Amino acid sequence: MYAKRLDNLPPYLFAQIDKLKAQKRSEGVDVIDFGVGDPDLPTPKHIVDSLCDAARDPATHHYPDYTGMIEYREAVSEWYKKRFGVSFDAKTEVLALIGSKEGIAHVPEAFVNPGDYVLATDPGYPVYKTSTLFSEGILHELPIKEENDFLPELDKIPKDVLKKAKLMFFGYPNNPTAAIAPLSFYEEVVEFAKENNIVAVHDNAYSEISFDGYKAPSFMQVDGAKEVGMEMHSLSKTYNMTGWRLGMAVGGEELIAGLGRVKTNVDSGAFDAIQRAGITALTSSQQCVADACNIYQERRDTLVAGLRSLGFDVPSPKATFYVWMKVSDSMKFAEKMLNEAGIVVTPGVGFGKSGDGYVRFAITRDVERIKEAIDRMRGLDF
């Protein structure tokens, strides 16, 4: 009944975990869920108020502009200028997205012909792989390993793959490893993309969630980045707006136009009232973002200290709301955590082969729950 491409989809590990979690809950277990990368914090009030006002204005009730409201695209452009020092023409170099997932899912449709290679970091955000599959591209995984600071080794990609490679997905601060990338890596990517005629798609969804004074750069800061690539960004993680579905793509005019052509044919844009609230988010005080980072930082410190007290050798991440921890067998570890302690963590293998041997904790639970989880783990024999 279904098209082959559905058969080719990898098993959706997160659905399996959801099932097990539901089962535990139905057995009366008080499950502590570190599985989902979805902020538990509410969207700041001034943004919610802005949506409510906008939703009452009938002018927002119509089909939105395909590329996004010009005022929203200008707000994105101003935010990028202020935050990263990069200028974009709001009319031609910025596109509104219905969340960055949507942009990532559609971008291969614009650039990849059946049989072209798509490069994507492994482990990585699963949509890099599934969007490649839907466009009938061939996925070439770029393993990211601890010994290389979780950055891909571009010089290890076989020549025959490079010849047919059309697009590359990468994203730092990284989900799931929580690794960060220096600007010098982005410079390397620009050179690499130029040399090999590859569209470089950087996923910067976590740039605002950072700690200890660290500020993540944008790929677009590098000279020449606009000619070879684009960046997907999102209001989801920055302003706790995952449910709202609002993001942006920025980059070179031709590339943005390519993605825009796909979108014009498959969706009708983000609700104008949500875009107006997005303008409020991007243009008003960013104190709410700093406050959220302080909360995550305290949680990170509590979890990392707790895990270290149990004998785990776990790094303290500088960004994202994830803690990526080495274990001997990620599936067994995750099963044991759920069955014996009622704790959900995500096995790294769910993000790709090279994620095996790790588990991911999402610190989207408060400090008290984190302390309780550590107490429950204390009784386990790992």
Chain contacts with ligand PLP (rule: CB under 6 A): 37, 99-101, 125, 171, 175, 203, 205, 234, 236, 242, 247
β-pair type (165-170, 138-143) = unpaired
Name which of 199 and 377 has its Cβ closer to ligand PLP.
199
Q: Is 249 helix (H, G, I), strand (E, B) or coil?
A: strand
| Residues 89, 381: Cα–Cα separation, whole Å | 57
- The CA dihedral of 361, 367, 369, 373, to the nearest 10 degrees, is 60
State residue 255 phi and psi, 5-degree precision: -70, -45
Name the minimum Å distance from CB 270 to ligand PLP.
11
Q: Which is nearer to ligand PLP, 32 or 178 (CB)?
A: 178
Residue type, 31: V
Residue 209 or 341: the one with the smaller Cβ distance to ligand PLP is 209
CA 361 remoteness from chain centre: 15
Helix (H) / strand (E) containing 13 = helix 13-26
Q: Which is nearer to ligand PLP, 40 or 227 (CB)?
A: 40
Helices and strands per DSSP (H, E), number in the chain: 14, 12
Q: Given the complex with ligand PLP, which of 222 and 232 has the nearer CB atom?
A: 232
Nearest distance in Å: CB 237, ligand PLP: 7
Q: How far is the CB of 30 from ligand PLP (least distance, A)?
A: 25
Question: Min. distance of Cβ 102 from ligand PLP in angstroms?
Answer: 6
In the complex, minimum distance from the CB of residue 191 to ligand PLP, in angstroms, rounded to a whole number: 24
Q: Is the preceding omega at residue 176 within 30 degrees of 0, hence cis? A: yes
